[in-house]
Chains A and B, each alone.
Chain A
Amino acid sequence: MDTDTLALPRTHYLNAEFGLASWLLTTDHKRIGLLFLGSISMFFVLGGIFAGMIRLELLTPPGDLVSDDTYNKLFTMHGIVMIFMFLIPSIPSVMGNFFVPIMIGARDLAFPRLNLLSWYIFMIGGCFTLYAIVTGGVDTGWTFYTPFSTMASTSNVMAAAVGIFIMGFSSILTGLNFIVTIHTMRAPGMTWFRMPLFLWAMYATSLINVLGTPVLAITIVSVALERAFHLGIFDPAYGGDPLLFQHLFWFYSHPAVYIMILPSMGIVSELIAAFSRKNIFGYTFVAFSSLAIAVFGFLVWGHHMFVAGMSVYGAMIFSVLSFLVAVPSAVKVFNWTATLYKGSVSYQTPMLYALGFIGLFTIGGLTGLFLASLGIDVHVTDTYFVVAHFHYIMVGGALMGYLGGLHYWWPKMTGRMYPDLWGRVAAVVTFLGFNLTFFPQFILGYLGMPRRYHAYPPEFQALNVLSTAGASVMGIGYLMPAIYLFWSLKYGPIAGPNPWGAKGLEWTTPSPPPTFNFDETPVVTEPAYAYDTVEKKLA
């Protein structure tokens, strides 16, 4: 930068401007990423509190801590907050916003003002949902199934529905921004097949956001209208069909699972390459498997409705199609494993999260195959088996990837290192706590304990106590990063541009990056994970 200020601290995106307005009116994708980080962290804490109360209630068989009504609201709001306000925005809006432009060597996203708008839209939608929660909560389950949500429920369905509708536009705009940015703003030499796999994952995620979210938006509007004006679209009394709601809802909400897991898969690809110092085995396959998951993900929604009354033949078609998604998912897992083979693996904090991801995602994915099989699904529908399955995907998978990415890129985002020992302890504690919480639920489900009840027969208590104990351990595992990451902001050692010795454009620019990301537009001359060339040069 300026030669006469060499003695002074470097100017970067964090200290380029000060004051509240410089944050609330920023169009810098990095600052917007941090705005999202702050917002979704608050929502994560909120969702976590609901989860804690659910687990506390389930500590003992009778429904003694909260009433049945309150319990219904607890699991509904846990679902709404964690899915729509934390998991779906999490990686795209924090790390995607921050790193998509940097990783392709651009100065910003294609539409910076639209990007800021998407944060405001998210916050406005969040306010509606918070309003619904503060004024008594919602009791429909996060799925808003009709006719309960349109006719019977007396809770704040309207406010929550409007909130989710509004937040949907935030993910549409973010997705649109990423697709356009990746298409038009890559640096010279950054060809599609030199892009880091995180970007392929973000691209595939954005595809789902852009094509799936609008269907949820119109569906949730229909629910609100149906509640207000009795349109009859989902009401049998008018010749409408409640199952149509489920079709439209799951058309988005099944692919939404891939909105949560694909970005994590992208991060894991980065971490596996960086910490085993190898090119990702079968780069092209991993890249295309992201797109395949995005496409196949739209063909399988019916497996959420096997017992809802859809046609048997329809159910069979959806059951068979569901197995399709397993193929690209398995491609990823096998290729990561092959990358690890003969790599010089180092077990630093981000890598522990990545390894945790692979293990937990594999269990979650395989149990998903159980549920995709028509015969088994009928047996375990609406039991804790399902609960355990999707928590293995969404918490064991998506959240582990999120934390891994946060630890990997934290030095880049803040310029500071956190204590790696504490990081590793937190990763292990999270992993153990997670398994202690959710593995017993597989057994509970298989024994027949139904989900969404606040009381249960005494013979299930032992496993439920284990689960609640695990949840406490997991809570500690999440609390630790919150503490040492904050600590590192002030006391952490200076990170330097590339603390991991990793490849990728984001590591070629100073930490934290300057306002326009690079002092000079980078020119890319090698593939994404050219670790072999580093080793050769060293040797």
Chain B
Amino acid sequence: MNQQAHAASHVIVPRSMYFTIFAALIVLTGLTTFVAFFDLGLANPIVALSIAVLKASLVVLFFMHMKYSSRLTWIIGGAAVFWLGILLVLILSDYAMRGWGG
């Protein structure tokens, strides 16, 4: 019973970590809204998406405990991103070579 209890429960991280991550997420939210009001040209969407990816990574790694999870969990997460990449990149490749708006 005791062995089972240990086997089935997960790594318990200190509660303070959740608050640190939360603070980072709030700061990044403020930052992305703030930056959006400046004209950075092409960089605007790049900055916005980079911050979004950063925020999502923080949520996945710490709130969802992927950092402490098995290699298999990482593979599933990677597969989701990879397959989404196939979808977006191959569709984009057709449109990019068609000449936009053509």
Contacts and interface: CB of A to CB of B under 8 A. Distances in A.
Interface stretch (A311-319, A324-332, A411-419): A311-319
A469 interface: no
A251 B90 CA distance: 10
Nearest to B80: A211
B91 interface: yes
Contacts of B94: 243, 247, 302, 310-311, 314
Contact of A244 (B80, B91, B97): B91
Contact of A215 (B72, B87, B97, B99): B87
A211 B79 CA distance: 9
A207 B93 CA distance: 24
Contacts of B90: 247, 299, 301-302, 317-318
Contacts of B98: 310-311, 314
A200 interface: no
B56 to A, nearest CB: 18
A299 B86 contact: yes
A183 B72 contact: yes
Contacts of B37: none
Nearest to B87: A251
Contacts of B83: 211, 298
B78 to A, nearest CB: 12
A247 B83 CA distance: 14
A313 B98 CA distance: 8
Interface in B60-102: 72, 79-80, 83, 86-87, 90-91, 93-95, 97-99
A234 to B, nearest CB: 14
Contacts of A244: 91
Contact of B86 (A207, A298, A314, A317): A298
Contacts of A251: 87, 91
B79 A314 contact: no
- Interface bracket on B: 10 to 19
A311 B97 contact: yes
Contacts of B87: 215, 251
Contacts of A298: 83, 86
A312 B86 CA distance: 19
Nearest to A183: B72
Contacts of A211: 79-80, 83
A317 B72 contact: no
Contacts of B72: 183
Nearest to A247: B91
B90 to A, nearest CB: 7
Nearest to B98: A311
Of A215, A311, A313, most B-chain CB atoms within 10 Å: A311
Nearest to B84: A211
A315 to B, nearest CB: 8
Contacts of A312: 97
Of A243, A298, A301, A314, most B-chain CB atoms within 10 Å: A314
Interface string A198-241: 00000000010001000100000000000000000000000000
A390 B3 CA distance: 54
Contacts of B99: 311
A314 B72 CA distance: 34
Nearest to B93: A314
A302 B94 CA distance: 9
Nearest to A214: B83
A311 B83 CA distance: 22
A243 B91 CA distance: 10
Contacts of A314: 93-94, 97-98
A302 B80 CA distance: 21
A248 B88 CA distance: 10
A313 B97 contact: yes
Contacts of A248: 91
A299 B93 CA distance: 12
Interface string A301-343: 1100000001111100110000000000000000000000000
A251 B94 CA distance: 13
A311 B93 CA distance: 9
Contacts of A311: 94-95, 97-99
A314 B92 CA distance: 10
A302 B91 CA distance: 9
Contact of B93 (A183, A215, A317): A317
A243 B95 CA distance: 10
A172 to B, nearest CB: 14
A117 to B, nearest CB: 22
Interface string A285-302: 000000000000011011
A183 B73 CA distance: 12
A243 B102 CA distance: 12
Interface in B21-62: none
A318 to B, nearest CB: 8
A213 to B, nearest CB: 12
A215 B91 CA distance: 13
Contacts of B86: 298-299
Interface string A144-165: 0000000000000000000000
A318 B97 CA distance: 13
Contacts of A247: 90-91, 94
A215 B95 CA distance: 19
Question: 5 shortest A-B CB distances, which residue pairs?
Answer: A314-B94, A311-B97, A311-B98, A313-B97, A211-B83
Interface of B: 72, 79-80, 83, 86-87, 90-91, 93-95, 97-99
12 contacts: A183-B72, A207-B79, A251-B91, A299-B90, A301-B90, A310-B98, A311-B95, A311-B97, A311-B99, A312-B97, A313-B97, A318-B90
Given A299-B86, A301-B90, A311-B95, 8 more contacts: A207-B79, A211-B83, A247-B91, A248-B91, A310-B98, A313-B97, A314-B94, A318-B90
